[in-house]
A and B are shown apart, each in its own frame.
Chain A
């Protein structure tokens, strides 16, 4: 009996999280367009629903009804697979992400995470890295020079930024003596790790920007020189899968920033319920991502590689050394 209930609870949690993840990009696109608008002194979407709130729904419907074009010379199997391949890892990542500790419903303790892996952080970094396959497949299968160049760039970028990203969280792991995100958050009960790890946070954040392919590191879809990068040839629903995965990666990075450096669901000063604190912090990070997008121009490709290998990598190694000395 116990086992069945536990299984059902996990199933429900998985379904709830999957549904939320499918829905979350809808307000995010709206938010992004609103922020873009206001930064450029425009209003953004205003026509569908109250202040354009239903605009993403209208856009989704439009994408659904669009013709699904597969280029003539494309590798059809890979072309169809790519959007799914890039969509699965962002979903899989959320298995290991805790949203809070636990709540009790009807005397039954329900934890706000699907699983508390003891290698949670490692799992997240590894699975998130798989997203790159979607990009490679998409670019390769389209059989178009822009898509191929875009996907090559993305691969190089993701690979080179994954390394500093991985190194930058080692400081956090050293401080909390654990890779489980739950333990990491609980280790920050009193003092957030941003206090001990400002450099680590900086590296993680910059690498995160590059991982999520946001400006100033959005070379993969540099409209000016590449059309739209690896999804140039995609249209309709397949294209929206790529968009969906991009927003989910952004969400993941924001959540990781909060979990690793900003105390997760632990609040300061104002006692709010844990999930609200968590959502507020994640929202702030998403806002910062969007704010960056509409402030900065894009880096040149060689600058991107220079920052990755010559600045962030040595800095992240230095950060590990510093943390080691600090702990010692």
Chain B
């Protein structure tokens, strides 16, 4: 360390030394060499890994069920009212038990901007933005999702923010399936002070 400082001082005093020996270029080369052998930050999605979103992540909509396994939504239409892009269609009706339930509940995911206002507006906590983010479709009609699909969609993650190992199925119904529940913290490879970051994230997000 001492010798390095002495060298730096010498160079500051006589700038020509740096120019003659290309110290700036050598510094650059040393830096790239260091990076060459450092850990890569690539997340190998979709082949081997997949990111689990945080609980706060706003993805594909999901309709929650109550304790009887019934749709929680009471078709009050508040969500469709508040929606800035007008992409929720709710048609209420009365079911056999005389309860107000949606006859039609459709979300146009192609138009939705995932602001989460519907989730905030809902008095029954029925609609929510879940954790699914892989729902690309070939036709825009396919992004018009109905009640059944919404009831079966994946809800929010419990912890999230991690990279789990996954498997890629490149068939017609292409998908990436996570193979485990918990993985490594996705920030680990990017931020070197691993422990500090991890603890702070856990403190805030749980």
Contacts and interface: CB of A to CB of B under 8 A. Distances in A.
Contact of A291 (B32, B41, B44): B32
A42 B41 contact: yes
Contact of B29 (A35, A38, A291): A291
Contact of A37 (B28, B39, B40, B47): B40
Contacts of A295: 28-29, 31-32
Nearest to A216: B25
A38 B40 contact: yes
Contact of A39 (B32, B41, B44): B32
Contact of A294 (B32, B37, B38, B39): B32
A46 B48 CA distance: 11
B2 interface: no
Interface in A33-61: 35, 37-43, 46-47
A296 interface: yes
Interface in B34-60: 35-42, 44, 47
Contacts of A296: 25, 28
Contacts of B40: 37-38, 41-43
B174 interface: no
Contacts of A39: 32, 35-36
Contacts of A294: 32
Contacts, number: 39
Nearest to B43: A43
A39 B36 CA distance: 4
B35 to A, nearest CB: 5
B28 A43 contact: no
Given A295-B29, A296-B25, A296-B28, A46 B35 contact: no
A47 B32 CA distance: 25
A46 B47 contact: yes
B136 interface: no
Instruction: For chain B, give the interface size range.
Output: 10 to 19
B165 to A, nearest CB: 15
B44 to A, nearest CB: 7
Interface in B117-176: none
A30 to B, nearest CB: 16
Contacts of B47: 46-47
B33 interface: yes
A40 B29 contact: no
A37 B40 CA distance: 9
B42 A43 contact: yes
Contacts of B37: 38
Nearest to B34: A39
Given A35-B36, A46-B47, A41 B41 contact: yes
A263 B77 CA distance: 83
A291 B33 CA distance: 8
Interface string A133-152: 00000000000000000000
A92 to B, nearest CB: 33
B8 to A, nearest CB: 21
Given A46-B44, A46-B47, A41 B25 contact: no
Interface in A18-43: 35, 37-43
Given A37-B42, A43-B40, 11 more contacts: A35-B36, A38-B36, A39-B32, A42-B42, A46-B44, A46-B47, A291-B32, A291-B33, A294-B32, A295-B28, A295-B32
Interface of A: 35, 37-43, 46-47, 291-292, 294-296
Interface of B: 25, 28-29, 31-33, 35-42, 44, 47
21 contacts: A37-B40, A37-B42, A38-B35, A38-B37, A38-B40, A39-B35, A41-B38, A41-B39, A41-B40, A42-B41, A43-B40, A43-B42, A46-B47, A47-B47, A291-B29, A292-B29, A294-B32, A295-B29, A295-B32, A296-B25, A296-B28
